[in-house]
Amino acid sequence: MDIEKKLINFIVDTEFDDLPQKPVDVVKTIVFTIMGSVIAGATVEGCQNLIDLVNEWDGKPEATILIHGGKVTGHNAALANGTMARALDYEDAILPGLHMGPVAVPAALAAAEMAGGCTGRGFLTSLVVGIEIANRINTINLKAFYGGFKGTGVCSIFASTAAAGKILGLNSTQMFNALGLAINRAGGSGQSNIDGAQAVYLVAGFAAQSGIICSKMAEKGITGPKNFLEGPFGWFNMFGRGKLDTQVMVGELGTRFELNNTLFKKFPSCGVTQTSTQGILELIKEKGITPANVQRIDIRVGPFAYQATGHFEIGDSPRTNAQFSIPYCVANALLRGSSRLQHFEETYIRDPKILDIVKKIHVTPDPEIEKRDQRAMEMDVKTAAGATYHKRIDTPKGSPGNEMTKEEHIERFRDCVDYGKKSLSPQKVERIITMIDQLEQLEDVRDLIPLMLKKQ
């Protein structure tokens, strides 16, 4: 129980002034990214149905459904907002296949409303410690890739629970119980990605919802297992393949931050499609290749990336099918010269020109490539004239060391606003950009909420 105790102390005792600037800046970018993702995802197929359902459920009006408006119970607001944030697969990510923002941010925002307010400094501190401890747990499983479980469902739940619990003022005993309860709600299947089901983005909503539920249960004295990580049926044995590295988990806690390795997506699709999309766009620019002169494209990726995204078949959820498909993402970028949110709408996906290009794209698994990075890929493009062009990318744009600029993040946010059919006024958009940039100066983070409601 030593690891659990050290993590609990870190969550409960850390203050804003204890934090280095880098993780604070990363979390501010996560918040900015999630606000954009919610704006864009608010009307995506499935989200409106969920919101209608949530509004039918009885309960105390505690927290706001963003964009749509209206108050529902805190845990159901987190469910709705988390699902919208994840719906377009255009948010932060970290290896292996983990999405912290759409889980932790909606839970923390709901908790702030339930608590009657939270300063920007308190909000950021809660998110930093919650996201960091979940990232450390996640790092244990870098090579195992969860064996079919969704990392977002089995790991980000600790971020939402810790962040919400800290904002709600849980003490050490209560926080122990909250995280112990959380392991009993951890889950999510990768089969949703393969089948292209809307459940892909509901996993984030479920984990955000559970963060509130577990925190409130712990506040009422309901107990969870204390050995939720190290026990014989704790996280490491259930999801971590029996692996445990004390240094990874608690070494340099408070000075080394795993969350600094967060990836921010340049393109609105699965994280392991990013390198392939980037690669074909670079070859278009460097070699002038076009759909007409491409004869064949061979792409080699690791087994995990291949299993998750190496295929393309249009099923019941075309958007999800396309987002989790290297062949579609490459064909789209080749045909349209970019990768934008609108390109994942059904009319674009069913374009016969796209389907013709997809037939030329062949994705195969290569275990050696996966040793470099989960997202690594190598691409060979053969032209009708007989030339072959090679491209290798191990880590995509938006990764640590190859970060997106502040201007690129703002451009991405505005793209989300445009895709969301400009549901927010230009004045609100500018205020959101400024407010999140100065988040640590906010007296009450709830001031963000009116800005995230659509114009009437």
Domain extent for 284: 271-393
Across the beta sheet with 377-383, what order do the strands follow? 361-365, 294-301, 377-383, 388-393
Mean pLDDT value across the chain = 92
Are both 140 and 126 inside the same structural domain? yes
- Same-domain pairing of 167 and 29: yes
The pLDDT of 46-71, averaged and rounded, is 94
Q: Which alpha helices (DSSP H) does 359-425 contain, by range?
A: 367-370, 406-419
Average pLDDT estimate for 54-76 = 95
Domain for residue 252, yes or no? yes
User: Considering only CA atoms, which of 377, 270, 364 is closest in space to residue 324?
Assistant: 270
284 and 253: one domain? no
In a domain, 399, yes or no: no
Phi, psi of 303 (to 5 degrees): -55, -40
Asked if residue 450 has a cis previous peptide bond (ω within 30° of 0), the answer is: no
Mean pLDDT of 25-53: 94
Same domain, 201 and 217: yes
Domain co-membership, 97 together with 218: yes
pLDDT for the residue 374: 86
Average of per-residue pLDDT across 277-295:
96
277 is written with which tokens?
Answer: 């999309």
For residue 140, pLDDT over 80 is answered with: no
Which CATH number is 26's domain given? Answer: 1.10.4100.10
Are 10 and 81 found together in one domain?
yes
The answer, yes or no, to whether residue 206 has pLDDT greater than 70, is yes
Give whole-number Cα distances, 429 to 35, 350, 438, 452, in Å.
10, 33, 14, 9
| Structure confidence at residue 456 as a pLDDT band (50, 70, 90) | low
pLDDT confidence of residue 163? 98
pLDDT score for 256:
96
Of residues 51 and 45, the one with the higher pLDDT is 51
The mean per-residue pLDDT over the stretch 87-95 comes to 86
* pLDDT recorded at residue 299: 98
**Please, are residues 84 and 41 in contact by the beta-carbon 8 Å criterion?**
yes
Query: Do 387 and 428 fall into the same domain?
Result: no
pLDDT at 234 over 90: no
| CA 66/CA 58 separation, integer angstroms | 18
**pLDDT (tens digit, 9 = 90+) per residue, 346-403?**
999 999 999 999 999 999 999 999 999 889 999 999 999 999 999 999 999 999 888 9
- End position of a domain, from candidates 347, 362, 393: 393
Are residues 226 and 121 both part of a single domain? yes
Q: Which of 35-49, 67-81, 101-115 has the lowest mean pLDDT?
A: 35-49
**Residue 152: which pLDDT band, with cuts at 50, 70 and 90?**
confident
Residue 145 has pLDDT above 60, yes or no: no
What pLDDT shows up at residue 443? Answer: 98
Given 371, 393, 415, which residue is the final one in a domain? 393
Residue 241 has pLDDT above 90, yes or no: no
Local structure of 445: helix, strand or coil: helix
Residue 142 has pLDDT above 70, yes or no: no
Q: Give the total number of structural domains in the chain.
A: 2
The pLDDT assigned to 138 comes to 86
Same domain, 44 and 183: yes
pLDDT digits (tens, 9 = 90+) for 267-281: 999 889 999 999 999
What is the CATH number for 358? 3.30.1330.120
Task: Based on the fold, state whether residues 189 and 305 are members of the same structural domain.
Answer: no
Query: Are residues 275 and 259 located together in one domain of the fold?
Result: no
| SS3 per residue for 352-365 | HHHHHHHCCEEEEE
Does 368 reside within a domain?
yes
- What integer pLDDT is reported at residue 297 of this predicted model? 98
Specify the pTM. Answer: 0.90
Position 188 confidence tier, pLDDT thresholds 50, 70, 90? confident
Question: How is residue 453 annotated by DSSP?
Answer: B
pLDDT of residue 196: 64
Q: Is the pLDDT of residue 123 over 80?
A: yes
* Residue 348 DSSP label: H
Q: How confident is the model at residue 133 (pLDDT cuts 50, 70, 90)?
A: very high
Confidence class of residue 198 from pLDDT cuts 50, 70 and 90? Answer: confident
pLDDT of residue 94: 84
Beta strands of 194-311 (E only): which ranges? 263-264, 294-301
Q: Is residue 436 part of a domain?
A: yes
Structural element, H or E, at residue 393: strand 388-393
Asked if residue 428 belongs to a domain, the reply is: yes
Which of 29-43, 133-147, 205-219, 331-345 has the weakest average pLDDT?
133-147
The percentage of residues in the chain with a pLDDT greater than 70, rounded to a whole number, is: 96
pLDDT at 442 over 70: yes
* Strands 294-301, 63-64: pairing kind: unpaired
Among 345, 363, 393, the domain boundary falls at: 393
Model pLDDT for residues 111-121, shown as the tens digit of each residue: 999 999 999 99
pLDDT band at 282 (very low <50, low <70, confident <90, very high): very high
In a domain, 398, yes or no: no
Residue 98: the pLDDT is 82
- Same domain? For 380 and 431 the reply is no
- What mean pLDDT is predicted for residues 418-442? 93
55 inside domain: yes
Residue 302 counted as domain residue: yes
- State yes or no: pLDDT of 193 exceeds 80: no
pLDDT the model gives residue 423:
82
